[in-house]
C-alpha cells in the first residue's frame, strides 16, 4: 500500500512542477506567478480542490507523443472566496505556452459545466498562446465548446476573466463573452492576430504593446474593465469584486457587515453642485459619500469617463451605480459611454442588483463624428437597458437632466421606482440659451428681449418643480440627505416583483 501512496505523491509532485523548473524560473523572471501560485493567491487559504491533475493530451502529430506533461497546460478546480464557492481555471504558460488542446479544453469545459450545475461563478486566469498548433482542428473544436458554454452560462452565473500574460488567437474570445475582463499592466496583452500576422496582412508595423496592452484595452477598445500593476494586486481585487456579486441569477449578493450609519447626512453635499450650471464638479464625490464606507468598485474607470459605473453597497447590500460625470465632456451622453453604461445596467439586471443612478446630463453629444459612429443605435442601447430592467431603480437628479438624456437616465417613464431631484435640478428639453434662440428667433438681435426670455425660461423650466408637479419626480430632496433617501427607497423596494412579457429574447440594438 505504501508504495501505491508514494506513487500517487510522485505523480502529484510531477504534475505540480508544470513545465519544469527552468520554465517556472522564466515565468518568475517575467514578474509572473505560476498557475498554481495564482490560484493560491486568489482563493481562501487551503480551499483549492484540484481536478484532472493527471490529464494528458492525446496528440501524436509533430512528435507530440514525446511531449506529455500531466495537467496539459491548465490547472482547474474549485475553492472559496471569503467562504463562497467559485470555480477556477488557470492557464499554465510553462506547459506548451498554456496552449489549448482538445484535452485542455475538456478540463475547462468540466469546470464550466460544474459551475453552471452548481450555480457558482467561474473565474478564468489567462496566460497562453492560443490554439495548440500541433492539434489543428481538435483545438478549434475545443475552443468552440468552451465558447458555447460561456454563452449558456451568461446571465446565469458571473464569469470573470483575468489576463495575466499573453492572450492570443482563440484565447481572446472566451474572455470576450464573459462579464468582466481585467488585465495586468506591462505584461499582459490581448489580440486576435499578433504583430507578425498584422504585418503580413496589412503591412502595419505594430508592437504587441501597441496592439493589445492593458492600456489599449482599458482606454481605447474598452475590451478590458480594469488594469492592475501585478498578478497579486489583480487577484486580490478579483476577490473584492467577487464579494460584490451574487453566486448566480437567483441568489442574492452576500450581505456584508456594515458599520456606516444608514441615516448618515453629509452637509458638504449641499454645496457640491455649483450654482453656475457650466461649472463642473466631481460626481465621484457624491458616489463615495453615499455608499457604505466609501467602498466603490469602479468598472471601466479609464474609458468613456463622462459616465461612471461600478458597484457599491447600501446597508451592506450590493447596488450598481451609474452616474454622469460633469468633469468630463460636461457629462454628455455619447456612443462610448452609452455602450459602457448599457452593458453595466444589463449585468445588474441579469443578476438582480438594484441600480442607483445619479443624473447630471446636458443631453446627447451633437456632431457628425457621433452621428456617423451610430450614436442613435448606441444611445438606444442604454435606453433599452434601462427600460427592460426590472430590478429596483432609484434615480437622483442633481443638476441637469436635459432632452432625451433625461428619459434615458433611469427616468420615471422607464419604470424608475423612486425618482428624486435635488433643489438644484433642471429638468427641461434643453438649456435656456438653446431654447430661447429657437423659440424667439425673431428677437435674436434684441439683447434685452433675449435676456428677458432667458430669465422667463429659466424661472419656468430650470427647476425640478415642473417635473415634480407632474409626478415625474417623486420628491425633491435635500442633497445632504441623499444616502438616507436611497436607503429608505431600497428598503421599500426590497420585495419588488416585476416581469416583462414572455419572449425568447429581446432584440437590443447591437
Ligand atoms: C503550441 C505553443 C503555442 C501554441 C506557445 N507555445 N504558443 N505551443 N501551440 N499556440 C510554446 C512554445 O513553443 C514554447 O515552448 C512555449 O510555449 C513558450 O513560448 P515562447 O514563444 O517561447 O514564449 P514567448 O516568447 O513569451 O511568446 C509567447 C507567445 C508566442 C507570444 C504566446 O509563443 C506565440 O506567438 N505563440 C503562438 C501564438 C499563436 O499564433 N497561436 C495560435 C493562434 S490561432 P517551449 O517548449 O520552448 O517552452 C488560434 C485559432 C483559434 O488560436 C481560433 C478559435 C476561434
The answer to whether residue 61 scores a pLDDT higher than 90 is no
Same domain, yes or no, for 223 and 167? Answer: yes
Same domain, yes or no, for 306 and 180? Answer: no
- Structural domain count of the chain: 2
Residues 6+ apart with CB under 8 A from 501: none
Active site residue 404: yes
- The partner residues of 227 in beta bridges, in order of sequence, read 183
- The partner residues of 89 in beta bridges, in order of sequence, read 76, 124
Q: Which of 93, 71, 238, 63 is nearest to 168 (CA)?
A: 93
Active site residue 405: yes
The answer to whether residue 284 scores a pLDDT higher than 80 is yes
Residue 439 lies in a domain: no
The answer to whether residue 275 scores a pLDDT higher than 90 is no
Give, to the nearest 10 degrees, the angle between helix 447-461 and helix 432-439.
Answer: 120
Q: Whose CA is nearest to atom 9 of ligand 1?
A: 132
Which of 210, 244, 278 is a domain's end point?
Answer: 244
Same domain, yes or no, for 328 and 205? Answer: no
Ligand 1 centroid, distance to 132 Cα (angstroms)? 8
Ligand 1 centroid, distance to 134 Cα (angstroms)? 11
Average pLDDT over residues 98-126: 97
Return the SS3 of 397.
strand
The answer to whether residue 57 scores a pLDDT higher than 80 is yes
Q: What is the pLDDT of residue 445?
A: 87
- Percent of the chain exceeding pLDDT 70 equals 100
**Of the residues 128, 330, 389, 405, which is catalytic?**
405
Same domain, yes or no, for 333 and 403? Answer: yes
Residue 450 lies in a domain: no
Residue 165 Cβ inside 6 Å of ligand 1? The answer reads no
Same domain, yes or no, for 297 and 216? Answer: no
Q: Whose CA is nearest to atom 29 of ligand 1?
A: 129
Query: Given the C-alpha cell 450590493, which residue does it identify?
Result: 318
Residues 6+ apart with CB under 8 A from 121: 86, 87, 115, 157, 158, 159, 160, 242, 245, 247
CA angle 65, 67, 71 (to 5 degrees): 110
Q: What is the pLDDT of residue 58?
A: 84
Average pLDDT over residues 234-252: 98
Same domain, yes or no, for 237 and 291? Answer: no
**pLDDT tens digit sequence for 491-501:** 999 999 999 99
Same domain, yes or no, for 192 and 89? Answer: yes
Residue 212 Cβ inside 6 Å of ligand 1? The answer reads no
Q: What is the pLDDT of residue 194?
A: 87
> Running DSSP on this structure, what letter comes out for residue 256?
P
**pLDDT tens digit sequence for 200-236:** 999 999 999 999 999 999 999 999 999 999 999 999 9
**Of the residues 18, 77, 170, 212, which is catalytic?**
170
Residue 500 lies in a domain: no
If DSSP states are collapsed to H, E and C, what string results for 306-348? Answer: CEEEEEEEECCEEEEEEEECCCCHHHCECHHHHHHHHHHHHHH
Q: What is the pLDDT of residue 494?
A: 96
Same domain, yes or no, for 113 and 232? Answer: yes
Give, to the nearest 10 degrees, the angle between helix 137-153 and helix 102-117.
Answer: 10
Question: Which CATH number characterizes residue 148's domain?
Answer: 3.90.226.10
Residue 441 lies in a domain: no
Average pLDDT over residues 188-192: 94
Q: What is the pLDDT of residue 316?
A: 97
Average pLDDT over residues 393-401: 97
**Of the residues 155, 316, 374, 404, which is catalytic?**
404
Rounded distance between C-alpha atoms, residue 209 and residue 232, angstroms: 21
> Could you count the other beta carbons within 10 Å of the beta carbon of residue 386?
27
Q: Are 267 and 480 in contact (CB under 8 A)?
A: yes
> How many CA atoms lie within 13 Å of 70's alpha carbon, on the beta-carbon side?
14
Which of 244, 276, 310 is a domain's end point?
Answer: 244
Same domain, yes or no, for 207 and 331? Answer: no
Per-residue confidence band for 80, with pLDDT thresholds at 50, 70 and 90: very high
Average pLDDT over residues 131-159: 95
Residue 216 lies in a domain: yes
The answer to whether residue 489 scores a pLDDT higher than 90 is yes
> Running DSSP on this structure, what letter comes out for residue 483?
H
The answer to whether residue 1 scores a pLDDT higher than 80 is no
Choose the residue to mutate in 18, 20, 129 for probing ligand 1, maximizing ligand atoms within 8 Å of C-beta: 129
Residue 143 Cβ inside 6 Å of ligand 1? The answer reads yes
What mean pLDDT value characterizes the chain? 95
Same domain, yes or no, for 322 and 421? Answer: yes
Q: Whose CA is nearest to atom 33 of ligand 1?
A: 129
Same domain, yes or no, for 155 and 210? Answer: yes
Same domain, yes or no, for 180 and 237? Answer: yes
Q: What is the pLDDT of residue 132?
A: 92
The answer to whether residue 470 scores a pLDDT higher than 90 is yes
Residues 6+ apart with CB under 8 A from 79: 39, 42, 43, 44, 47, 48, 49, 85, 86, 88
Q: What is the pLDDT of residue 447?
A: 86
The answer to whether residue 36 scores a pLDDT higher than 90 is yes
Q: Tell me the residue range of the domain where 271 lies.
A: 267-425+463-492
Rounded distance between C-alpha atoms, residue 328 and residue 248, angstroms: 35
Which of 213, 244, 275 is a domain's end point?
Answer: 244
Residue 397 lies in a domain: yes
Active site residue 431: no
Residue 237 lies in a domain: yes
The answer to whether residue 307 scores a pLDDT higher than 90 is yes
Q: What is the pLDDT of residue 70?
A: 87
The answer to whether residue 6 scores a pLDDT higher than 80 is yes
Residues 6+ apart with CB under 8 A from 460: 466
The answer to whether residue 97 scores a pLDDT higher than 90 is yes
Q: Which of 57-66, 220-229, 380-389 has the lowest mean pLDDT?
A: 57-66
The answer to whether residue 351 scores a pLDDT higher than 80 is yes
The answer to whether residue 510 scores a pLDDT higher than 90 is yes
Residue 449 lies in a domain: no
Q: Whose CA is nearest to atom 15 of ligand 1?
A: 96
Return the SS3 of 375.
helix
Determine how β-strand 74-81 pairs with β-strand 84-91.
Answer: antiparallel
Per-residue confidence band for 435, with pLDDT thresholds at 50, 70 and 90: confident
Amino acid at each position: 500500500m505504501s508504495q501505491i501512496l508514494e506513487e500517487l505523491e510522485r505523480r502529484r509532485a510531477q504534475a505540480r512542477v508544470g513545465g519544469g523548473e527552468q520554465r517556472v524560473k522564466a515565468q518568475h523572471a517575467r514578474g509572473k506567478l505560476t498557475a498554481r501560485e495564482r490560484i493560491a493567491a486568489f482563493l481562501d487559504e487551503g480551499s483549492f480542490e484540484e481536478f484532472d491533475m493527471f490529464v494528458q493530451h492525446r496528440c501524436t502529430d509533430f512528435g507530440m507523443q514525446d511531449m506529455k506533461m500531466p495537467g496539459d497546460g491548465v490547472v482547474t478546480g474549485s475553492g472559496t472566496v471569503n467562504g463562497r464557492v467559485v470555480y477556477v481555471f488557470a492557464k499554465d504558460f510553462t506547459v506548451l505556452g498554456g496552449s489549448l488542446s482538445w484535452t485542455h479544453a475538456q478540463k475547462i469545459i468540466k469546470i464550466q459545466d460544474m459551475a453552471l450545475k452548481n450555480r457558482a461563478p467561474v473565474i478564468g486566469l489567462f496566460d497562453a498562446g492560443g490554439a495548440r498548433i500541433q492539434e489543428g482542428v481538435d483545438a478549434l473544436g475545443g475552443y468552440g465548446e468552451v465558447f458555447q458554454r460561456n454563452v449558456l452560462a451568461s446571465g446565469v452565473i458571473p464569469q470573470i476573466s483575468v489576463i495575466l500574460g499573453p492572450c492570443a488567437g482563440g484565447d481572446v474570445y472566451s474572455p470576450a463573452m464573459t462579464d468582466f475582463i481585467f488585465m495586468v499592466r506591462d505584461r499582459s496583452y490581448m489580440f486576435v492576430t499578433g504583430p507578425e500576422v498584422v504585418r503580413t496582412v496589412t503591412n502595419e508595423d505594430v508592437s504587441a504593446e501597441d496592439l493589445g496592452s492593458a492600456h489599449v484595452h482599458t482606454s481605447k477598445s474598452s475590451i478590458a474593465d480594469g488594469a492592475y500593476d501585478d498578478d497579486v494586486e489583480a487577484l486580490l481585487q478579483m476577490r473584492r469584486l467577487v464579494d460584490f456579486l451574487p453566486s448566480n441569477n437567483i441568489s442574492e449578493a452576500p450581505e456584508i457587515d456594515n458599520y456606516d450609519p444608514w441615516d448618515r447626512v453629509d452637509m458638504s453635499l449641499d454645496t457640491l453642485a455649483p450654482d453656475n450650471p457650466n461649472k463642473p464638479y466631481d460626481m465621484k464625490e457624491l458616489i463615495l459619500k453615499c455608499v457604505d464606507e466609501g467602498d466603490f468598485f469602479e468598472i471601466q474607470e479609464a474609458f468613456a469617463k463622462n459616465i461612471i459605473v461600478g458597484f457599491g453597497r447600501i446597508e451592506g447590500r450590493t447596488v450598481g451605480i451609474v452616474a454622469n460625470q460633469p468633469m468630463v465632456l460636461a457629462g454628455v451622453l455619447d456612443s462610448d459611454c452609452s455602450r459602457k453604461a448599457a452593458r453595466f445596467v444589463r449585468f445588474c439586471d441579469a443578476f438582480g442588483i438594484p441600480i442607483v443612478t445619479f443624473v447630471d446630463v446636458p443631453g446627447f453629444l451633437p456632431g457628425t463624428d457621433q452621428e456617423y459612429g451610430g450614436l442613435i443605435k448606441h444611445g438606444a442601447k442604454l435606453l433599452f437597458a434601462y427600460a427592460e430592467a426590472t430590478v429596483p431603480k432609484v434615480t437622483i437628479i442633481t443638476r441637469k437632466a436635459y432632452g432625451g438624456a433625461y428619459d434615458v437616465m433611469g427616468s420615471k417613464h422607464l419604470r424608475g421606482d423612486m425618482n428624486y431631484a435635488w433643489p438644484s435640478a433642471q429638468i427641461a428639453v434643453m438649456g435656456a440659451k438653446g431654447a430661447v434662440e429657437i423659440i424667439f428667433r425673431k428677437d435674436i438681435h434684441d439683447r434685452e428681449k433675449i435676456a428677458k426670455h432667458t430669465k422667463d425660461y429659466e424661472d419656468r423650466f430650470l427647476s425640478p418643480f415642473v417635473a415634480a408637479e407632474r409626478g415625474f419626480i417623486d420628491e425633491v430632496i435635500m442633497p445632504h440627505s441623499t444616502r438616507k433617501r436611497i436607503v429608505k427607497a431600497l428598503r421599500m423596494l426590497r420585495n419588488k416583483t416585476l416581469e416583462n412579457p414572455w419572449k425568447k429574447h429581446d432584440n437590443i440594438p447591437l
